[in-house]
Amino acid sequence: MLVAKTGKGTMINLSDKQWEAQILMQLRRKEAFYCPVCENPLDLKIGSIKVHHFAHQKNKTCSIETEPESEYHLNGKLQLYKWLQGQGVQSAKLEQYLPSISQRPDVLFKNRNKYTAVEYQCSVMPASLFSKRTSQYKKAGINEMWILGGKNTARLSSHTFRISPFQWLFARAGEDPLDPPFIPTYCSKVQAFLLIEHLIPFSKQVFFSIPRYLPLNQTAISDLQSPKTHSIKSHLSKWIHLIKSHRLKPAVHLQREMILLQKELYEKKQTPLSHLPAEAFLPIKTSYLFDSRICLWQTKILLFIDQIQTHTVFTLEEVTREIRADPSTKVRDLTHLKHLTIGAPILEYLEALSFMGMLQRVNKNKYVKQKEITWQSKPADLLKRDELVMKLFTQYK
Ligand SMILES: [Zn+2]
C-alpha cells in the first residue's frame, strides 16, 4: 500500500513526492501508521530497491487485502496513477477507500464526470472475488477497468496467447460487441501496455490475437476503453499457420468432446480430424461466444448442412437449435461482457458460407444449400485449399 492514516488521523501518501529515506526514517520513529480500511497498524517499509510502501503487520489480516503486494504491482500502480494524473482527468486518487462498497481500487479517477476504478491485477484471484468486485463497482455507478499484470500473460508466438479462464475475466468488448474482444495488460518493468486485441479462440485456451504494444507515455485513456478495429487480412498467414499446425501436429491428449467428434466424423464421413475441410476453421469474429475449439462448432454446423439435400431451405433457428442441443458445444462465460447469444457466431458463419458459395441466403435468416461439402482431400491439397478458402473469407470480412 502507498497510502496510510497517521495517529492524528491525517493521510500520508508515499507517491505524493520524492520522499527521502532519511525523512521517512524520522517519521517512522515519531508516527504510527494505520490502514485506512481495517484500522490495523501498518509497518512503513523504507526500500532501497523496492519502492517505499506500507504493509500490514504479520498475522494481521486486512478486511479487503488478500495477499502481500509485490514490487511489480506496487510499481505498476504508481506508474498508472501518475500516468492518469497526466491525462487531464478531473481527479485521480490512489488507493481511495470506498466504504459504501468496501472497495479500495488501485486508482480511482474521474473523467467527464464519471468515475472509473482501475484494478491492476498481478496475481490470480478467485473468479468469485473478481465478479463480486465488478458488481460492487457497477452498483455504485463506477466503471471498472481491470488491467492484467503483463508478467502473467503467456505469449506463445507473435499472434497467439494462452488465455486461462482467469485471464479471460479481463476480456472487454469494444464499442461493437460483434467485434472480437480484447484484454488490456500492463507491464511495470517495461512501462508499457500490451493490448491483446482481436481475440479469436483457436482452441479452448489458445487464442489468436492482433496485439498492440503501447508505451505508457504514448497511451491515451481511450486506447484502453475501446480497442482498435483490426482486419485479419494482413495477419492471415498467422491464422493459416494455426490450421497447418492442427493438420500436421495432431494433439496427443484430445479433450472428450474432440474424441467424440473424431468418432462422429469417422462414422459419418470417414475423415480424420486432421483432414477437416478448410471451412471448419473460419476466423469468425464472434467465435469467443463458444468455449470450444473453433473447428468443433464449425464442423458441427457443417455436419448439419451435410445431411440436408442440395437446394433445400433451412433456417438460422434450426442450426442454432441443433448446436444448442449438442452437449459438445459449450458456451463461454460472458458475465462481464455484453450479452450476445451463440446465434451471433452462427449467423456470421452462415453468412460467410453464403459469400463463399456453399449456401445462398434467400431471405432473412433463411438459406439454401448450393454445394456439397468436400470432406476428402489429400494432405497437400488440404493445405492449398486452406490458403484459398481463407483468402476468399477475408474478401468477405
Ligand atoms: Zn487493512
Query: Quick one: what percent of the chain has pLDDT higher than 90?
Result: 73
* Residue 184, strand partner residues: 195
**What's the DSSP call for residue 312?**
-
Cell readout for 297 is: 462448432
Element counts in the chain: helices (H) and strands (E): 11, 17
Residues 6 or more apart in contact with residue 26 via CB below 8 angstroms: none
**d(CA 293, ligand 1 centre) in Å:** 43
Q: What are phi and psi of 130, to 5 degrees?
A: -60, -50
Question: What pLDDT is attached to residue 86?
Answer: 94
What is the Cα–Cα distance from 4 to 246, expressed in whole angstroms? 54
- Cα 66 to ligand 1 centre (Å): 10
Spatial separation of the C-alpha atoms in residues 387 and 62, rounded to whole Å: 57
Residue 299 CA to ligand 1 center (angstroms) comes to: 53
Scan for cell 501496455, then name that residue: 193
Alpha-carbon distance 16 to 198, whole Å? 38
pLDDT tens-place string over residues 77-133: 999 999 999 999 999 999 999 999 999 999 999 999 999 999 999 998 888 888 889
Concatenate the DSSP letters of all residues of 197-263 into one string.
EEEEESSSSEEEEEEEEEEGGG--HHHHHSPPP--GGGGHHHHHHHHHHHHHS--SS--HHHHHHHH
Residue 2 or 193, more confident:
193
CA–CA separation, 327 and 329 (whole Å): 6
Q: What angle do CA 188, 190, 194 make, to 5 degrees?
A: 80
- Give dist(CA 236, CA 397) in Å, integer: 12
Ligand 1 centre to CA of 102 (Å) is: 11
Interstrand relation of 206-215 and 192-201 (parallel, antiparallel or unpaired): antiparallel
Q: What is the structure's pLDDT at 319?
A: 97
Instruction: Please give the distance, rounded to the nearest whole angstrom, from the Cα atom of residue 62 to the centre of ligand 1.
Output: 4
Distance of CA 43 from the midpoint of ligand 1 (Å) = 11
Distance (angstroms) between ligand 1 centre and the Cα of 27 equals 20
CA distance 307 to 5: 71
| 180 C-alpha to ligand 1 centroid (Å) | 39
CA distance 193 to 225: 13
How many Å lie between the centroid of ligand 1 and the Cα of residue 7?
15
Q: Is the dihedral of CA 12, 13, 14, 17 positive or negative?
A: negative
Residues 174, 288 contacting (CB under 8 angstroms):
no
Taking alpha carbons only, the member of 308, 313, 284, 309 closest to residue 297 is: 284
What are the b/e assignments for 227-257, b being 16+ CB within 10 Å? beebebeebbebbbebbeebbeeeeeeeeeb
The protein residues having their C-beta less than 5 angstroms from ligand 1 (an ion) are 35, 37-38, 62
Angle CA(74)–CA(100)–CA(83) in degrees, nearest 5?
A: 30
Q: With the CA atoms of 206, 212, 216 and 221 taken in that order, what torsion angle do they form, in degrees rounded to the nearest 10? A: -100
Q: 106: CA distance to ligand 1 center in Å?
A: 14
The tens digit of pLDDT for each residue in 28-77 reads 999 999 998 888 999 999 987 778 999 888 877 777 766 678 889 999 99
Q: What distance in angstroms lies between residue 230's CA and the mean position of ligand 1's atoms? A: 43
Kindly tell me if the per-residue pLDDT of 14 is higher than 80. Answer: yes
pLDDT in tens, 236-277: 999 999 999 999 987 788 899 999 999 999 999 999 999 999
Reported pTM: 0.90
Q: How far is the CA of 42 from the centre of ligand 1 (A)?
A: 8
CA of 94 from ligand 1 middle (Å) equals 15
